[in-house]
Amino acid sequence: MSKEEEILQALVKKFGFLENRIKTQRPRRILADVDIGNFKTLLDYAVKELRFPILLTMTGLDEGEKIAVIYHMASEDGCILNIRTAIAKVNPSLKTITDIFPNADIYERELEDLLGIKVDGLAPGNRYPLPDGWPAGEYPLRKDWKKNKEKVGDDHA
């Protein structure tokens, strides 16, 4: 049995709701799709029990009525587990994972700046990557965002 199959079986055994919501994308790449209510429990298990201690990055995607966030994590032997969750696009909110991965800070700031996701528990800090003068409520990675030169200005194109 491959490493990926072992991980898949362990996750489905522990979290029955993952049946038909987890797959091997290609060798050494696993994708699990989980609702936000079960996300933190799954993340904790993946880190502590399955030994995925490395957060590689986080990806935010505007999917129309929802915003998806994919947490890309790695084991020390190079297997990658991608955990995808989705939240409503209206008043989107997530809890920080900086208690588990301190390096999530920068990725969570990107989610706030570029997609308008409120990250509860994220320590105060500088904006990233948009400049401090960027207009409130303007999220350039949302599909419905349109550049408004009067609001944003040519220097932030």
DSSP H helices in 1-155? 3-14, 36-48, 104-115, 149-152
pLDDT reading at 133 higher than 50: yes
Give the C-alpha separation, 38 to 17, whole Å. Answer: 9
Give the pLDDT score at 151: 54
pLDDT of residue 150: 53
pTM of the predicted model as reported, rounded to 2 decimal places: 0.91
The pLDDT assigned to 157 comes to 46
**How many CA atoms lie less than 13 Å away from 22 in the CB half-sphere?**
24
- Please report which confidence band the pLDDT of residue 147 belongs to, taking 50, 70 and 90 as the band edges: confident
127 band by pLDDT with thresholds 50, 70 and 90: confident
145 CB contacts (<8 Å, ≥6 apart)? 138, 139
